[in-house]
């Protein structure tokens, strides 16, 4: 792994190694044991064009606990692609820091940045992909059930960046995924076809449908995300009307398996894509999922930035 831009290039063993590292570091933190300063002397830049709570805080804490320094760069400070070209910023930062977490709009921006950088680049979110979230989601499901093999995940809502990364990750790890979206809001067709082909090789399955109740029927995991992502605010009213039948509420969750868990990457628009009683209910793993961003991203930083110190971690 030179960069983490999407989950497409990761193998199942890559994902398992990251999970093992995250699991070990989470247990150590819970026991009050300090994390080894594997990134001492390193600096991680957080270059964000989109606002963030979980991505920024989890990466800053992850870097600090690994012994690194973090540096936050706002859109006003950098002007990526306007005040300075993407290529020039990538080359300049490569001479100052040891890794960049880039949170931006166009996925082409993070790809260009990675091509021009001589340091690891981590996609903290683009309009097309959210790989750190996808890895965290599967880690959280593994943590809860012990294994992903044969588990059914129902994603209900917009076929957005979170759905893309979730599909890519689940297809590599033996899950059966059902994606239920309104017509016209499906995930990218090319990405979906590649994930479906890869799923077949590991005994997994990725299905696209439009009936949320059919998707959730007997599922182990019910997953949803906002109906209107950042940059789509002008579509909010029209989207609410289209997505109303896809709300994750008690009636929908009742069609899942009795042991099913509910997930959401946050922030949530309560009362829209998910109701309070579900988000705060006993089946919700949403806030555990949010906490796990820290542990998975510590593993990602260790994998990409601390490679010379890396040893295989076991559970």
Looking at residue 30, its pLDDT comes to 96
Q: Report the C-alpha gap between 158 and 267 in whole angstroms.
A: 15
Q: Would you tell me how many other CB atoms lie within 10 Å of the CB of residue 166?
A: 30
Instruction: Work out the widest C-alpha separation in the chain, in whole angstroms.
Output: 54
- Of 245, 310, 229, nearest to 24 by C-alpha is 310
- Of 293, 138, 306, 149, nearest to 223 by C-alpha is 138
Q: Report the C-alpha gap between 315 and 308 in whole angstroms.
A: 21
Looking at residue 257, its pLDDT comes to 98
6 Cβ contact partners less than 8 Å away, ≥ 6 residues apart: 123, 128, 129, 131, 164, 165, 168
Looking at residue 247, its pLDDT comes to 98
pTM of the predicted model, to two decimals?
0.94
Q: Which domains does the chain have, with CATH numbers?
A: 12-130+293-309 (3.40.50.1370), 133-289 (3.40.50.1370)
Looking at residue 239, its pLDDT comes to 93
Looking at residue 313, its pLDDT comes to 34
Looking at residue 306, its pLDDT comes to 83
- Residue 244 DSSP symbol: G
From first CA to last CA, the distance across the chain in angstroms is 21
Looking at residue 33, its pLDDT comes to 94
Looking at residue 234, its pLDDT comes to 80
Tens place of pLDDT per residue across the chain (315 aa): 799 999 998 988 899 999 999 999 999 999 999 889 999 999 999 999 988 999 999 999 999 999 999 999 998 888 888 889 999 999 999 999 999 999 999 999 999 999 999 999 999 999 999 999 999 999 999 999 999 988 999 999 999 999 999 999 988 888 999 999 999 999 999 999 999 999 999 889 999 999 999 999 999 999 999 998 877 778 888 999 999 999 999 999 999 999 999 999 999 999 999 999 999 999 999 999 999 999 999 999 999 998 544 433 332
Beta strands 152-156 and 121-125: pairing type? unpaired
Contact 221/194 with Cβ under 8 angstroms? no
Place of tokens 């993407």: 86
Looking at residue 258, its pLDDT comes to 98
Looking at residue 51, its pLDDT comes to 87
């Amino acid at each position: 792994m030179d960069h983490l831009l999407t989950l497409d290039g990761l193998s199942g063993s890559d994902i398992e190694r990251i999970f093992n590292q995250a699991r070990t570091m989470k247990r150590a933190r819970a026991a009050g044991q300090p994390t080894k300063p594997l990134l001492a002397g390193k600096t991680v830049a957080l270059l964000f064009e989109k606002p963030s709570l979980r991505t920024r805080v989890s990466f800053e804490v992850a870097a600090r606990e690994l012994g690194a320094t973090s540096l936050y760069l706002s859109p006003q400070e950098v002007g990526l692609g306007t005040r300075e070209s993407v290529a020039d910023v990538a080359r300049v930062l490569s001479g100052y820091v040891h890794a960049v977490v880039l949170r931006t709009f166009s996925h082409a921006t993070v790809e260009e940045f990675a091509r021009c950088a001589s340091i690891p680049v981590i996609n903290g979110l683009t309009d097309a992909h959210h790989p750190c979230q996808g890895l965290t989601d599967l880690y959280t499901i593994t943590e809860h059930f012990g294994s992903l093999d044969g588990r059914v995940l129902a994603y209900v809502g917009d076929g957005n960046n979170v759905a893309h990364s979730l599909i890519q990750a689940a297809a590599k790890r033996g899950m059966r995924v059902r994606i239920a979206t309104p017509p016209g809001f499906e995930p990218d067709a090319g990405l979906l076809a590649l994930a479906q082909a890869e799923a077949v090789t590991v005994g997994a399955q990725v299905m696209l449908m439009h009936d949320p109740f059919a998707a959730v029927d007997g599922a182990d995991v019910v997953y949803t995300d906002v109906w209107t992502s950042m940059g789509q605010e002008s579509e909010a009213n029209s989207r609410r009307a289209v997505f109303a039948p896809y709300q994750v509420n008690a009636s929908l969750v009742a069609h899942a398996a009795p042991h099913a868990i509910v997930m959401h990457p946050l922030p949530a628009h309560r009362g829209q894509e998910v109701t309070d009683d579900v988000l705060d209910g006993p089946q919700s793993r949403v806030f555990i999922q949010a906490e796990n961003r820290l542990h998975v991203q510590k593993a990602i930083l260790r994998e990409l930035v601390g490679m010379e110190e890396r040893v295989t971690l076991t559970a």
